[in-house]
Structure 1
Amino acid sequence: MKIAAILSTLAAATLVSAGKFHPLTNPETRYIPGGFIIEFQEDIPRNVAHNALNSKKVDYKVRNDYTIFNGAAISVNSKHDGNDIAKISGVKNVWPITLHSIPRVQASKKKTTDPETASLHQMTGVDLVHKKHKLTGKGIKVGIIDTGVDYKHPAFAAKGAKAGCFARHGKNCRVAHGWDFVGDNYDGKNKPEPDSDPMDCQGHGTHVAGIVGGDALNIKTTPKPPQPFVGVAPEVTFGAYRIFGCDGSSGDDVIMAAMEMAFNDGMDIINMSLGGGSSYKSNPQAVLGDQLVAKGMVLAAAAGNDGAEGVWMVSDTGLGDLSTSVASFDNLYGMYHSFSYGGVAHPYSPAETWGKPISVASGTLLPLFEKDGTLSDGCDATLYSGVDVKGKTVLVLGDFTRCKSGARGQNAQKAGAAALLVQSTPYGLAGLGGFPGFPVASIEFKAGEEAVAVYKKAPKTPVTFSKDGSNFLVEGGGAPSDFSSFGLDGDLRSKPDLSAPGGNILSTVPLAHGGYELMSGTSMATPYVAGAHALYMQAKKSKPRGDVIRGVFKNTATIATNFGSKTKASAAKQGAGLINVLRAITTTTSISPDHIDLLDTKNFRKSIKVTLKNNGKRAETYTLSHVPADALNSYPDPKKSWPLGTPLIEADYATVAFSQSKVKIPAGKSVKVTLNFKEPKAGKATAFPLYSGYVVATPSSKGGVAVSVPYTGIKGDISRVPIMDTDTGFPTMGYLNSTHDFNEIPKGFTFDLKKDTPVVLTRLASHTPDRQIRIYDAKKKFAGFLFSSNNGAAFGKRGRDTNLDQEGNMIFDLWSWKGQVVATANVTAVPSTLPAGTYSVVVASQRKFTKGVYPADFEVFDLGSIKF
């Protein structure tokens, strides 16, 4: 749709300088072709901004208009790209509309009634908040931005009612607000079909809502819960904002519309258990999120489930300065189906593509060994050659360096196996994608070790699978979840902020799906934090904005150790620690800021002032102390560019000196204390160890609540951290022939761009403020930045790439090139086509914390020349 130009209005307006285009920050990111989120300059009226687009002959249709976020989502029908739109006066920022999948979680339907599975509230003090303080979240509104909510579920019924309801359909309904933005058939690529009914047909959103405020303590109707349980805040009022269809993805444009509606409906808290790839905080959801928090809301967002990928992987939605990024801890107990081997029952977690108990008839178990006798990862199909696995359950190692569970499952199925068990490393029950139609499941590390030992003594020992679920003390329970993503972000900011129970969580799912399921993910930890905010607001009889409450929860969190460890887990993994709601509502002390970013050696912030405040009714004396945490070494080999998937734990501890180690503060007063940091003596700066710890202030009065603040830093020069993945031969250049096969470029080859397509391949091992592909002519004169028909202009911020996709394929960026370039990396006209000739291709990535002067501040790779 073209919006008619109102020339008089346009002439009267004073339009400011052009804005910035933000290309996609990760090659995995799927997007809507021609779809853009536009943020206008603060003082530009909406109609003037639209007229400015029209004046440049941009043919577009408005997908969504926003009010709090001064901008719009559009679909462009003309050939204008994001760079063209950013050039238009009055535009501040432009982003492609990216697609976000329904988060992957572990799921398992159970039948036992063991009450220990609901022990998660004992980990956080919520059990005592319910019993002693009688807090339930009543009067607080929580918006669930997700797949919708099954509002008919009895766990969402008002007191005295047998079933839940939606306010548009009944009275006294706990789901009082909501909207379906998309319809059942929406998958992110087709046209949304919105309506007023936010019923959940997928399940994720209902599970999230149950954690926030479900109440399944006294349900008598069928289906009954496997055991009684209650959410964090069982009397909150819900808003259900459905942004996903029954399957598929959702676009930024829809998600942002839901965020704004939640605010306009009066939600106090919004829960965004979405997740995404690594990024910078300048993504549109994070920008709008900070705007909403600044207006008084709370935004809780999932930190992501990329723990197996190593550092720099915390997810994008929660990267705002004011939002809360939530990591996960495993519940102490979990209900699982099991396999019995050698007289011992071990829990297992089915892969997502299997999603049900394994029902293999009694048979034998066969560990797949490498030639050296070690347990194989199952990625090499040739190891099955000559091995009889027909009808047997195969056991492999869960090291995902070479391939993922889909490839392992396919190899086992082709060999004739009946099922595949994958031993988790280093511990716990991993969430697996699996291979469609074939039973794949993860088992605990210890279970794998014991199974191998039994096999070596008695190879014919039978293996059996249970028909029902049982309660197990979970390996890794009460500690940071293995799947939970590591920080920091691309600017060395301290993310995630906080942790909550997210592993092995029993909650609600739609009645049509059985009513109740156990799931794991930061998707489950995030609503726990959202519910905790509701309890805090009710306790304080006020509604502070999100970053204020975040500070209280971070101050009072329980600093935890990794499973089996005696030292504290890195703040890059657990943030400030495991949320403790009882301590948060009873503390009379605060310490701010709520995190300390020491940056790297070159930019080291050695002296930091913190403010310690006594909110109590009498004077208090505090003792200040330092608790060091594990350092993470992701680069032990200086010749390697790709960070370790599981960082090495080191005792590289910083030291802290206090301007006052003891301080007495009168009631209602505050004191500033200077913290003088010294970087760790241990640890090689060339390995860039990520060190962290906690500064603690302990009151002297009996029963006083100690408060703490986490700090993080990097030893070494962050500008020297490898950016491009040279370990596997990136960046590189070649061409695709007519059958799309990749070929090396023969010496002296001249391209016919009508038949052959030159391509540049890149793969990032770390964030970069500006990844460029530069083109030079035969005289070494800069000709422009490569413009790709599939990826657009090759410049801009980029997040770190993950290693493999769910099918085990290596992830990288492919830039197809038909001789087009753009002249500048700021704003540009329509890409131009270079004349025939010979051109050099240079891939350059700006090093972190540099000014961006080329080539001094870049990691540069000259890939040679192309002739066409």
Structure 2
Amino acid sequence: MSIRLVLWALALQSGVSALRRRDDGTAEDPEPAAHKFLVELAPGNNIDGLRQQVEELPGVVVLKTFESEIFTGISVDTSHATADIPLESLQAATHAWPMRTIRRANLPNAERVFDDDLSAKNYTLHHYTGVDKLHAAGYLGKGAIVAVVDTGIDYNHTALGGGIGPGFKVAAGHDFVGNEDFPNGPKKPDDDPMDQRGHGTHVAGIIGGKSESFVGVAPEATLLAYKVFTSLDGTDEETLVESFLMAYEAGADIITASIGGPYGFSDGAWAMLASRIVDEGVIVTIAASNDGWVGPFFASSGSSGKNVIAVASMEPSTLAAEPFTVNITQQVRSESFEFGYIPGERSWEIPDQPIIPTSTNSSVENDACEPLPADFPDLTNAIALIRRGGCDFIIKQSNAEKFGAKYILFYNNDGQIISPWTGSTVSQIAMMEADAGKAIVDAVQNNGTVRASFTHKSHRVGVYNAAGGRPNEFTSWGGLYDLQIKPDVAAPGGHIYSTEMNGAWGVRSGTSMATPYVAGIAALYVGRYGGRSVHGKSFGRDMFKRIVTSGAALPWSTSDVPPVQEYGYFAPVPQVGSGMIDAVKVLEYMTVLEYDNFGLNDTANFRPEHDLTITNNGDGDVTYTFAVQPAGGFEMYQSRSATVSRDSTIKSLQNLGAPISLEPEVALPDPLTLAPGESKTVRFTFALPSENVRQGEMPVYSGKILVTGSNEEALSVPYFGVAFSLLEEIPEQFPVGSPTIGSSGNGGFRWTFDLEARSYPTIYATFEWGVTELRWDIFEAGWTEDQWQYPPVVGEKGHIGSATSYIEAGREWQFNPDTMDANATYPFPVRSLSRTYPFIVGYYEFWWLGGMADGSQIPSGNYTMRFAALLPFGDPSKASHWDVWDTPPVLVTRGA
């Protein structure tokens, strides 16, 4: 058996897999190179011996050696391997993972970039999370070490310290990939983690940036910069594992990574390593990703690890705007005000001009949607002020331009303030807040005069965000496919202002921005109380719970674009976890909650009883009471309809509709009084929801258990479950029309495996739910399902063997024997496959070139082919728990 198949066999024993999937036109490639593996060494074995054994195999290249108390092993490239070895020869290896390619959480580009320090004396998010109170108390993160695993950091930015090395804010770092074309080409690592994309620089500013007028969450924290991306998108798990290990060995208290893509399982190499690092006392925050529009159950990769803090995103109450000065004169009285505006393209430079409203009715709904009166004042040397709404910006702009307007200022209605754009080059446009615009119009209505100056200023002002306090629609929904809770907590991630490359500043959105905010709050805690060196190995797990239990519920919302509808329900746990993080609770509360995940599972695997240990670390007696705070329930089944597009069984975000009341019955403990330093455990017993339950519609329920102390401390623990049986309500993994097969040569299910003639099968598969195991088995002709045994054994009950797939299937369009290696395959079964969705995970593609999992070739003959996906929570030993593709008999005629 080839080393590649040996490693795949080991990977399958580990319960993990990888394969090529097609993303329907996206440039992302978040699936693995099936010829590269991470191999873990069993404890007590010598790493040098394993490395030497593997290096002696022809065509095998050892890429990296890892030696750590957390992970010891090697990464290998088997692209050109030719030797056959027995599986038993790698007894020193305990796990193997094919290396997946991982993307940054998307929505990466800056929405607006400014030339220099324009962050505001009047703009901050920190009042929203309680960070401002901690800053006022002197807690700034001094002594905390935060490792930023990202695109690098522009450490020359003055707000990030202006340099790198001991004594600088960015104290150290490493570039794992170089500055060229990885992942398309080889890595060229060096010691300079200078950013090439800006993403990591923006993240670093959120954590620890500081200038005269901008303050990050933990401005005195020390940063470590680990660059895992070039200017291209995509990195691999080897790089992430290496960077996390280096961060751990460097003494990081917190590791944060705004990286991830669809996965939904906790068994990946990166997720497992991150979990182990948490178990060693390190706080790990990873983005929940930005595929929220797909809908529920589309969780990310690394953030799926146990006790890894998966961070969701929500809109802050304030947006950053550029300041301008307004002077209002009424009779003999003159006053000056500073307002904020958001330009359409670039900042304005206007020394002093009058503002002329096109209407003196500040409630008008179609301002300037019709041509202005013929006697309207000339706007050549004035700023036109027009209320938003009633028609497109370009119509209003065109009507004002006819009177000479060069600058047009739109004031907002009830919508979210935006950066307007039309494409016109005749005039420049911008937007300001509704209240400020109304004040100007009212002043003019009362015979006042208003003049404005737009000049370059070194600060930002905050403007009201009408969508503030709501989940971002881009934030990815959980939970995991085994119904564990993810994400864990939310933080501000929409329209976040921070540092950019080359000394600039900019606004970005994404869970990428929310994640470092949580890391910054963790740094404030470490700065005040110490990190893992003080608190020991339990610190990472303890901080996970401390952060999660601080969360404040957010309102139900599937859109972050105002006007938003009020439903009177809280956002569900699989969207925002426990809700918005509260920094004051994280640092100041004396109540500590200890618990395991309140995942209630489905009806067939219901987990009704959950224990909670409460500790009173205060200096007086505290009485605790308990309550249930249900979140909005929803029915996620997407029925087939002529009027609703159906891309999967699970509804997309836009099709979720209004929330429903879906509440479990919970037997709550009696009130509990704890003396200082005392701990007690209480039990909560859940019963399945009994009202509004339509199991066929796949109802999902969630909420929080509230714990309120007489000391005015209030914490919460999220719960989550589905009020149906996954196995019963998802009886098919393959949607209608899937799988499909493409064949060349003889066509149909007859193949010669003449690769010159391209006579081999290609299977395209899509899935309704995350697949724990996908099999492609070959049996004797006439085999039937009543002969199924698990696992199938070659030579028993008609089992010929398992098929293999070419490692580049999906990357290439067809096999070319002149340029491709027919032995470059991986074996079935494969495991842990995300559900599919157009343009994200479009479909999975497999090419069987005739090779079998044991390294042999399928001989000529008549066969039965079984291509099957295990159903959710299915028992693999039961044939009925597999979704089996109905195929005709197979004929192989080699040499024909």
Shared topology, TM-score over 0.5? yes
- Residue 873 of structure 2 aligns to a residue whose secondary structure is coil
| Separation in structure 2 between the aligned mates of residue 17 and residue 229 of structure 1, nearest angstrom | 48
TM-score by length of 2: 0.73
Partner of 2:74: 72
Contact kept, 8 Å, 1:493 with 1:597, in 2: the verdict is: yes
Partner of 1:88: 90
Partner of 2:651: 644
When structure 1 is superposed on structure 2, of 107-116 and 44-53 the one drifting more is 107-116
Matches within 5 A, 1:739-818: 745=747, 753-756=755-758, 757-780=760-783, 781-789=798-806, 790=808, 792-805=826-839, 811-818=842-849
Contact kept, 8 Å, 1:597 with 1:711, in 2: the verdict is: yes
- Residue 885 of structure 2 aligns to a residue whose secondary structure is strand
Matches within 5 A, 1:13-92: 19-20=13-14, 22-24=16-18, 27=21, 29-32=30-33, 34-53=35-54, 59-67=60-68, 68-79=70-81, 88-92=90-94
Matches within 5 A, 1:262-661: 262-335=247-320, 473-511=464-502, 515-543=504-532, 544=535, 545-563=539-557, 564-593=566-595, 595-637=597-639, 641-646=648-653, 647-661=656-670
1:742-783 CA-partner distances (Å, limit 9, x unpaired): xx9559887755313321111122112111222233232332
- Residue 200 of structure 2 aligns to a residue whose secondary structure is helix
| Separation in structure 2 between the aligned mates of residue 509 and residue 82 of structure 1, nearest angstrom | 51
Contact kept, 8 Å, 1:102 with 1:247, in 2: the verdict is: no
TM-fit CA distance, 1:52: 4.6
Partner of 2:354: none
| Separation in structure 1 between the aligned mates of residue 610 and residue 580 of structure 2, nearest angstrom | 25
The answer on 1:197 being equivalent to 2:165 is no
TM-fit CA distance, 1:540: 2.3
Identity of aligned residues (%): 26
Unaligned runs of 5+ in 2: 4-9, 24-29, 323-339, 348-391, 396-414, 420-430, 435-453, 558-565, 784-797, 810-825
| Separation in structure 2 between the aligned mates of residue 467 and residue 491 of structure 1, nearest angstrom | 56
1:179-230 CA-partner distances (Å, limit 9, x unpaired): 11221104213222122111112111111100110013x1xxxxxxxxx321
Partner of 1:234: 219
TM-fit CA distance, 1:30: 3.5
Change (3 A) 1:487 1:288: same
TM-fit CA distance, 1:280: 1.3
The answer on 1:138 being equivalent to 2:142 is yes
Change (3 A) 1:473 1:71: same
Change (3 A) 1:86 1:612: farther
| Separation in structure 2 between the aligned mates of residue 838 and residue 772 of structure 1, nearest angstrom | 19
| Separation in structure 2 between the aligned mates of residue 325 and residue 80 of structure 1, nearest angstrom | 42
When structure 1 is superposed on structure 2, of 474-483 and 45-54 the one drifting more is 45-54
TM-fit CA distance, 1:804: 2.5
1:485-527 CA-partner distances (Å, limit 9, x unpaired): 111112111111111111110011111xx61110011111111
Change (3 A) 1:758 1:349: farther
Change (3 A) 1:290 1:666: same
Contact kept, 8 Å, 1:19 with 1:89, in 2: the verdict is: no
The answer on 1:129 being equivalent to 2:129 is no
- Residue 277 of structure 2 aligns to a residue whose secondary structure is helix
Q: 1:798 corresponds to which letter in structure 2?
A: S
Contact kept, 8 Å, 2:286 with 2:308, in 1: the verdict is: yes
Contact kept, 8 Å, 2:36 with 2:77, in 1: the verdict is: yes
Contact kept, 8 Å, 1:106 with 1:521, in 2: the verdict is: no
Unaligned runs of 5+ in 1: 4-15, 158-163, 219-227, 338-345, 358-391, 396-426, 432-442, 447-465, 738-743, 823-828
| Separation in structure 2 between the aligned mates of residue 96 and residue 82 of structure 1, nearest angstrom | 19
- Residue 573 of structure 1 aligns to a residue whose secondary structure is helix
Change (3 A) 1:248 1:586: closer
TM-fit CA distance, 1:672: 1.8
| Separation in structure 2 between the aligned mates of residue 349 and residue 273 of structure 1, nearest angstrom | 28
RMSD (Å), alpha carbons = 3.7
TM-fit CA distance, 1:255: 1.6
Matches within 5 A, 1:814-853: 814-822=845-853, 829-830=854-855, 832-853=856-877
Question: Which of 681, 690, 694 is equivalent to 2:704?
Answer: 694
Change (3 A) 1:542 1:94: closer
When structure 1 is superposed on structure 2, of 502-511 and 849-858 the one drifting more is 849-858
TM-fit CA distance, 1:687: 2.3
Q: 1:720 corresponds to which letter in structure 2?
A: E
Question: Which of 712, 722, 735 is equivalent to 2:730?
Answer: 722
Partner of 2:742: 734
- Residue 776 of structure 1 aligns to a residue whose secondary structure is strand
Q: 1:501 corresponds to which letter in structure 2?
A: P
TM-fit CA distance, 1:275: 1.2
| Separation in structure 2 between the aligned mates of residue 685 and residue 638 of structure 1, nearest angstrom | 17
When structure 1 is superposed on structure 2, of 657-666 and 134-143 the one drifting more is 657-666
Q: 1:166 corresponds to which letter in structure 2?
A: I
Q: 1:45 corresponds to which letter in structure 2?
A: N
- Residue 863 of structure 1 aligns to a residue whose secondary structure is coil
| Separation in structure 2 between the aligned mates of residue 747 and residue 773 of structure 1, nearest angstrom | 14
| Separation in structure 1 between the aligned mates of residue 651 and residue 82 of structure 2, nearest angstrom | 41
Q: 1:862 corresponds to which letter in structure 2?
A: D
Partner of 1:8: none
Partner of 1:101: 103
1:575-629 CA-partner distances (Å, limit 9, x unpaired): 1111101122121112221630111101111122221222211111111100001
1:251-287 CA-partner distances (Å, limit 9, x unpaired): 2112211111111211111111111222311111111
- Residue 850 of structure 2 aligns to a residue whose secondary structure is strand
| Separation in structure 2 between the aligned mates of residue 116 and residue 487 of structure 1, nearest angstrom | 37
Question: Which of 662, 677, 683 is equivalent to 1:674?
Answer: 683
| Separation in structure 1 between the aligned mates of residue 550 and residue 605 of structure 2, nearest angstrom | 29
Q: 1:801 corresponds to which letter in structure 2?
A: R
TM-score by length of 1: 0.75
Contact kept, 8 Å, 1:21 with 1:93, in 2: the verdict is: no
| Separation in structure 1 between the aligned mates of residue 83 and residue 99 of structure 2, nearest angstrom | 12
- Residue 205 of structure 2 aligns to a residue whose secondary structure is helix
Partner of 1:361: none
1:396-447 CA-partner distances (Å, limit 9, x unpaired): xxxxxxxxxxxxxxxxxxxxxxxxxxxxxxx98999xxxxxxxxxxx9xx9x
Partner of 1:147: 151
| Separation in structure 1 between the aligned mates of residue 575 and residue 85 of structure 2, nearest angstrom | 36
Change (3 A) 1:81 1:55: closer
TM-fit CA distance, 1:249: 2.1
Partner of 2:406: none
Change (3 A) 1:313 1:18: closer
- Residue 569 of structure 2 aligns to a residue whose secondary structure is coil
Larger radius of gyration: 2
TM-fit CA distance, 1:637: 2.5
- Residue 143 of structure 1 aligns to a residue whose secondary structure is strand
